[in-house]
Amino acid sequence: MHKLQCNTNQIGKQYIWLDKTDSTNEVIKRLLLDGQTIEGEAGKVSKMIVGSIHHGLTVLADHQTKGKGRIGREWIDEVGTNIAMSVLLQPGLGAESISMVTLVSALAVAKTIKEKTGLEPQIKWPNDVLIGGRKVCGILTELEIGAGHYCVIVGIGINVNQTYMPEEIADIATSLINESEELLPLDREAIAASVLENLEAYYDKFCLTGNMSELMYEYNALLINRNLNVRVMDPSESIEGIARGIDDMGRLLVETPDGEWHHIFAGEVSVRGVYGYV
């Protein structure tokens, strides 16, 4: 039986750990929208409505059958080896701040990896955490608006004890156990709890300003894109230049060869130039 023991005020205090589900993000959506009963190791979460679902509700699963990343990509995980979890945040922030929650979450994961493994993680703007230039964590943040509620669901997938990577991603993905060369499986419960503790600390600081001004320096210090040539692609255009870091709104600053600076919002864009391709 999994036990999640978080030294937090709210985040992770209300949780459920499932053996298998389609997507932990989708579980929270169903709880919000129709009060579906969910069975898990933490007990039954039954007929929930928004008023009884607390800020910080966390759903974890040993296996996701339909895990997803940004821009509709699939997230692949082995049964019982990784961390797949989603956290419900009910912020008193404007919609313009929501995209920055992804960056805040990436900081929490990076700090946990450093603390728990001694590895040196980096962040690929906006939502990937890397070790040695290969992806170990992806984050998907979704805004959920319904009758009487407004919240953010943060989905976090971390490759922890998965030793085999499918051939199509072997060059760009890794896991904590592969990078740390540990012989015994890493403690997923302890890592998940640490992520939630760090998330609460960073999120509370973020909410004081509603922007990245208090976290920008720390984020930029971990930014693997920084001072690299990148190509930013969205449905309408492609921009090539040098990434200079983020600003206080979490936007990636890209300097093009003509000396112009572009402020790129984290959305339906792809930033290349890290995983061995441009």
Give the tens place of pLDDT for each residue, 87-109: 999 876 777 788 899 999 999 99
Cα 139-143-148 angle, rounded to 5 deg = 145
Return the C-alpha torsion angle 126, 14, 149, 269, nearest 10. 10
Q: What are the distances in angstroms from CA 257 to CA 242, 244, 247?
A: 8, 13, 20
What number is the average pLDDT over the span 151-171? 92
Cβ(83)–Cβ(157) below 8 Å: yes
Domains of the chain: 15-220 (3.30.930.10), 225-272 (2.30.30.100)
What span, in angstroms and rounded, lies between the C-alpha atoms of 165 and 157? Answer: 15
Averaged pLDDT for residues 6-19: 94
Q: Which of 53-57, 72-76, 91-95, 223-227 has the highest mean pLDDT?
A: 223-227
- What's the rounded Cα separation, in Å, for the pair 44 and 210? 34
Which pLDDT score is estimated for 5? 92
Is a pLDDT exceeding 60 seen at residue 36? no
Whole-model pTM? 0.89
Amino acid at 212: M
pLDDT: is 74 or 80 the higher one? 80
- Counting residues of the chain whose pLDDT is more than 70, the rounded percentage is 83
At 182, is the pLDDT very low, low, confident or very high (cuts 50, 70, 90)? confident
Mean pLDDT computed over every residue of the chain: 85
- In angstroms and rounded to an integer, the radius of gyration of the C-alpha atoms of the chain is 18
What pLDDT score does 76 carry? 60
The CA distance from 10 to 143, in Å, is: 20
**Higher local confidence (pLDDT), 145 or 197:** 197
pLDDT of residue 68: 58
Q: Residue 35 has what pLDDT?
A: 56
Sequence-ordered alpha helix ranges (H) in the chain: 24-34, 98-117, 176-180, 188-209, 216-222
Q: Which of 55, 47, 30, 22 has its CA nearest to residue 150?
A: 55
Which tops the pLDDT comparison, 236 or 258?
258
pLDDT of residue 183: 84
